Amino acid sequence: MPVRPSDPPALIAFATALAYRDPKTVRAYLTTVRGLVAWLADHPGGDPFRPDLLTTTVVQGYLDSLAAAGRAPRTRSRPVFRS
């Protein structure tokens, strides 16, 4: 499992829950969520990361920031962001 010592406990738990998936899928999901966690840390109250910070508004703000940065639609539509 590709977790890092710097990953918040919630992300480690997420990675553990994905352990049955293809390693490439797990790596892609973790990369995506790490990006969200890093983006959130740059906003007031976003650090340290806590799962209760994840609201529809926060996720939409992150997706909007990806769009503004010119990130590909495929990046913005990863399944990890779908409910």
Pick the closest to residue 38 from 71, 56, 65, 67 (CA basis). Answer: 65
Domain boundaries, given as residue ranges, for the chain: 9-81
Task: Answer with the residue of higher pLDDT: 1 or 76.
Answer: 76
User: CA of 2: how far to CAs of 15, 38, 54, 73, in Å?
Assistant: 8, 17, 22, 25
pLDDT of 1 above 90: no
Instruction: Categorise residue 45: left if φ over 0, alpha if ψ from -120 to 50, beta otherwise.
Output: left
Rounded to two decimals, the pTM is 0.84
Dist. CA 82–CA 42, nearest whole Å: 23
- Secondary structure class of 7 (helix, strand, coil): coil
User: Is 79's pLDDT higher than 80?
Assistant: no
Q: What CATH class is the domain 9-81?
A: mainly alpha
pLDDT given at position 74: 79
Backbone Cα Rg of the chain: 13
pLDDT digits (tens, 9 = 90+) for 24-65: 989 988 998 999 999 999 999 999 999 999 999 999 999 999
